[in-house]
Amino acid sequence: MPFQFGGLAFQPKSPATGNKDLVWVCEQNHGMLYAFDAAAAPGSAPLVELQLKQDKVVWLTSPILQPASNRCCGCCWSIIKRPRR
C-alpha cells in the first residue's frame, strides 16, 4: 500500500524534543506518525516513529524524547484526527 500523506504539524524546540524544532508527518494507511528535525537535510531519517492503533501507541522509537515524555502527550492527535479532504 502506498504512502498516503495525512497531516503535518510543527512543534517548537524544547527540552522534551531534544532542543530540536520538529516537523510531524502522519501516514494514514498504517497509522504511523513521524517526527523530523526541521533543520535536517531532505531525506534524513525521522527522529521519532510511532504507530497508533485504536487511539493507543503500540510502537515507539525515539532517540530524542526525554524518559518522562516517552509517552503520547496528545500533541499528535490534532494531526491524526483531522478529516480527510
User: C-alpha 32: how far from its chain's center?
Assistant: 8
Whether residue 28 is contained in a domain is answered as yes
Whether residue 83 is contained in a domain is answered as no
- How many angstroms separate the Cα of 56 from the Cα of each of 34, 44, 59? 15, 27, 9
Q: How many domains does the chain have?
A: 1
48: domain range? 5-73
Q: What is the pLDDT along the chain (85 residues), one digit of tens a residue?
A: 566 777 788 989 988 788 899 998 888 777 888 899 999 998 888 888 888 777 777 777 776 655 444 444 555 544 444 444 4
pTM score, whole prediction:
0.66
